[in-house]
Amino acid sequence: MLGLSAAGYPLTQFAIQRLGRRGAVVTEFACCGLAIRDAGMVVAGVPSLLRRWPASLLWMELAAAVTAGGLGLRSAMDDESCKRANAEPGPAEMARRVAVGALFGLHTLRFWIYLRPDHGRKRSLID
């Protein structure tokens, strides 16, 4: 699972290049799905249960997911925008790619921390 998470960015790029707008829609679902999940965790108070670094990573992942989702909307909604973004990526497309890369990088790091015995929780909550 950790490897699949790490492969998230290249897989999204492959989907967009191979499937065009449909790949952009799949990428949008992945980014927005992670944003919704992260927002739910924040609303549930999970950051207060985590050590400082894992809590910060959760907030950064949420910001990256919202940014990636927002920047990917145009390609997911308009076939011509998607084709242009693939042919000659401008500043907005480059920003989207950075946000998606950051999202999956942060998600992979947080997942790796979660797989550790303490799950990134504060010491007082482990005992």
Q: Quick: pLDDT tens for 99-119.
A: 999 999 999 999 999 999 888
- What per-residue confidence (pLDDT) applies to 125? 56
- The span from the CA of 99 to the CA of 95, in Å, is 6
The tally of domains found in the chain comes to 1
Q: Quick: pLDDT tens for 3-13.
A: 999 999 999 99
Structural domain harbouring 66: 2-126
At 1 the three-state DSSP class reads: coil
Q: Quick: pLDDT tens for 58-103.
A: 999 999 999 999 999 999 999 998 888 888 899 999 999 999 999 9
Give this prediction's pTM: 0.90
Q: CB-based contacts of 64: which residues, under 8 Å, 6+ apart?
A: 99, 102, 103, 106
Q: CB-based contacts of 33: which residues, under 8 Å, 6+ apart?
A: none
